[in-house]
Amino acid sequence: MNLKFLCMVISTYVMTFNTLFAQQALYLDVHQPIDKRIENAISLMTVEEKVNMCHAQSKFSSPGVPRLGIPEIWMTDGPHGIREEVFWDEWDGAKWTNDSCTAFPALTCLAASFNPEISALYGKSIGEEARYRGKGVLLGPGVNIYRTPLNGRNFEYMGEDPYLSSRMAVPYIQAVQKNGVAACVKHFALNNQEKERMSINVEVSDRALYEIYLPAFKAAVKEGKAWSIMGAYNQFRGQHCCHNDLLLNKILKTDWKFDGAVISDWGGVHNTEQSVYNGLDLEMGTWTNGLTTKGTSPYSSYYLANPYLQGIKSGKFTTKELDDKVRRLLRLIFRTTMAANRPFGKFVSPEHSEAARKIAEQGIVLLKNDKQTLPIPVGKYKRIAVIGDNAIKSLVIGGGSSSLKVAYEVTPLKGLEAKYGKDVIQFSKGYSSDLDDKKPESKLIADSLLASAVETARNADAVIFVGGLNKNWFQDSEGDDRQSMALPYNQDKVISSLLATNKNLTVILCSGNAVEMPWLSQIPALLQAWYLGSEAGNAIANIISGEVNPSGKLPFSFPKKLEDNAAHSFGQMSYPGNSKKQEYKEDILVGYRWFDTKKIVPQFAFGHGLSYTTFEYGKIAVDKKEYAKTDIVKLSFAIKNTGKTDGSEIAQIYVSQPKASVLRPVKELKAFRKVNLKAGETQTVEIEINVQDFAFYNDKTQTWDVESGEFVLCNAASSANVKSKVTVSVK
C-alpha cells in the first residue's frame, strides 16, 4: 500500500468519524430543538434498535440505544406514591433500604378538595419524589369516571364529574412534569370497573363518550400537555383500548394532536398487527395479567418485539409506523432523562410530609354534624374511646399497583393519641379485617372484640369509630370489584352496638367508595376520610379537634342503596355485563345527572360537605342577559361567613338548558371556587364561563353545539343545595 493511498484512507476515516461525531453531538445537544434531535437520532438507528425501543426489557423499564447513548425509560407506580423497587423480572420487592416513600392521599381525597392549587402542590411533591428515585415516567394520574360504587379502583380516580376531574388533573400533570418526569394519564378509556376488565367490551354512545368519559383525558392532553398516556385493559367497540384505532389514532393523536407516547397497561396488548397500526407506541407487561409474580415468555416474544421485526423484514409492515413510535419515545426521553436543567428532586422531605397533611386536611369531608358534636377541642373530655380496625391498620399497603412501602405512616390512633394524649384515648379494635368468617373460632373472636369495644365505649365521654373499607381483595383494590355496597366485617353491628351504649358517637369512614349506612339517622357525626397516606392520623386529629375546619366536598354521589345508582338500575348488561359485553345504558346520566333527572334522593349529594361554621350565599348575577355563542359570561355573587369560626366554602356553579332538542341533564357543573373567609367576613365571588361550555356533543354531526335559547345558571353548595338562579339567553 503506497503512502498516498494510506493517507486517503485515513482522511476518509477521520471525515467519517467527524461526521458521525457531529451527528451524535446534534441529538445529544440539549440546546437543539427536540424535533431536530429526534430526526438526527432516528437517522443513526438500525431497524433492530428501533423495534427494541417499542417493548419492555424488565417489569418497569424499556430499552434505550446503548450504542448511541440513548438511555432506558424507567417507570413507576403509582399515582399516590413512588412504588418500591422490584426485581428485574418479578413483582416481588427487591428489599432495598432506601426506597421507602411518602404516601400521599388517594386521588379521591385530592378531588374532594375542589382546589386546583392543592392539586399543583400534590403534583410538585410526588414529581420530586419520582425524580429523586430516577424515574422518567409516573404512571398516573388516573382520571376514569366513577360510574359504580362497586369499582375496586375508584379510590385512584377523581370522581363522577368530568369537569371536576379535568380541573384537578391539569395542575397535577403540569407540576409533575416540571420535575422532568412524565405524567402517564390512565386508563384511556372507559375502564370503569375491575370485574372482567381484561375482556369486557364496552358499548357506549358517542354523546356519553365525549361528554362524560373523555373530557378529563382531553384536558390532560390539550391543557396539561401530558407527555404519555396509558391504554386501558378493556375493549371498546370490539378493539382493546391499548391498540384501538378510534381512541388512539383518531381521537388522541389526530383530533387532540397528542405528541407524546402511548404506553400499554401491563398485559393489555393482544395482537401485533393492531399494535402496529392502531396507535400503541410502547408495549409493557405482555404475557402476564398485570398481577402474577413472573413472566411466562421472554421480552423478545412480545407482540412489538420479534414478531414486529420479522414482519418488517418480510415486507408485511413498513417502517413508517415504527418511526412514528420511535419519534414519540425519543421525545419522551428528551423531555425527561435527557432534558436540560432537569431538577434533582427530593425524597421523604419535611415539605412532602406537610404537603401530604394539607392535601388530606382539605379533602376530608364532614358529612353530618348534629348538635355540633364536632369539633372535640383538646381538654373537653377526660376519656375518648377510639374503636375500629382502620384506626390501626395500614391503609397504604395493598390495593394492587398503588400499594406502597412507606417511610412512615401515622395511623388515626397515633394521630389522636398525639393530639389528646394517651391517657385520654382508649382504644379497642371492635372488629378485625383479618378474620375468616368460615372458621368457627372467628365468630368467637369477633364476639369478643365487639364486647370489649362496647365496654370501652360505655366508660367514655365520647366515641370515635374508625372503619370503612380497606385494600383487601373485593374492596378498594385493583383486580376485581366489591361484591356489595355494605360495610364488611360486620361493622354495621359494631356501630349499632356502640350506639346502644353511648350516643355521643362520631363515625369516620376510610374508603374510596360509597357504602350503605343503615345507622346514619342515629349517629350525630360522620366524616368521610378516604385513604389519607402517611399523614392520615395527623390530618384526622386536626379536623376532629377543630384545629382545622373541614372544607372538603364529595366528588361523587353516595346512593342510599345500590339500585339507586344509574349503572345498576338497568340490570346485568349495564353492570357488570355478560363477561363479554356491557352497555352503558344510563348514557350521559352519570352520578348527580342521574339523581337529578330521575328525582332520586341520594344519601349524600355530589358536592356536599359541611363546615364548623355557616355560610350565606347572595343572589347570583350576570353582566348581561343576552350572549352570543362566542361570548364569556361574567357572573358574581357574595358569600358571607355567618358563624364564629374561620372557614372555607367551595361554591359551585351549575348550568342547565330547560328546553333543548336533545336530552340534557337537569344541571351540569361548569365552575367552582374555593373561598376562604374569616368569621363574619363577606367576599364577592367573580367567575367567568365561556358560552361554548354550554354545548352538548351532537353525535349526528360529530360537533359540539350550543343551541340558541335560554340557559339557567345557579350557585350552589352542592348539586342538591342550589342557592339562587339566573336565566340568560344565547343567540
Q: Can the peptide bond before residue 460 be classed as cis, meaning omega within 30 degrees of 0?
A: no
Give, as one character, the DSSP assignment of residue 71: P
Residue tagged 385493583 (cell numbers): 478
What is the amino acid identity at position 532?
L
Residues 6+ apart with CB under 8 A from 50: 42, 319, 322, 323, 325, 326
Q: Is residue 265 among the annotated active site residues?
A: yes
End-to-end Cα, the chain, rounded Å: 88
Q: Is 44 exposed, middle or buried (0-12, 13-18, 19+ CB in 10 A)?
A: middle
Helix axes of 536-545 and 350-363: crossing angle, nearest 10 degrees: 50
Select from 343, 344, 342, 339 the least CA-distant residue to 32: 339
Helix axes of 34-44 and 320-335: crossing angle, nearest 10 degrees: 130
Question: Which grid coordinates are listed for 315?
Answer: 415486507
**For residues 96 and 647, what is the distance between their CA atoms, to the nearest angstrom?**
44
Select from 613, 623, 626 the least CA-distant residue to 686: 623
Catalytic residue among 265, 281, 481, 564: 265
Residue 253 dihedral angles phi and psi, to the nearest 5°: -90, -30
**For residues 358 and 552, what is the distance between their CA atoms, to the nearest angstrom?**
12
What is the amino acid identity at position 624?
K
**For residues 652 and 724, what is the distance between their CA atoms, to the nearest angstrom?**
11
**For residues 471 and 437, what is the distance between their CA atoms, to the nearest angstrom?**
18
Select from 457, 511, 517 the least CA-distant residue to 491: 517
- Give alpha helix (H) positions in 379-517: 412-420, 440-458, 491-501
Residues 6+ apart with CB under 8 A from 204: 190, 213, 236, 583, 584, 587
What is the amino acid identity at position 351?
E
Select from 715, 641, 653, 707 the least CA-distant residue to 678: 641
Residues 6+ apart with CB under 8 A from 147: 160, 192, 193, 566, 567, 575, 584, 590
**For residues 169 and 256, what is the distance between their CA atoms, to the nearest angstrom?**
17
**For residues 429 and 447, what is the distance between their CA atoms, to the nearest angstrom?**
12
**For residues 634 and 686, what is the distance between their CA atoms, to the nearest angstrom?**
7
**For residues 14 and 675, what is the distance between their CA atoms, to the nearest angstrom?**
68
**For residues 443 and 441, what is the distance between their CA atoms, to the nearest angstrom?**
5
Active site residues per annotation: 265
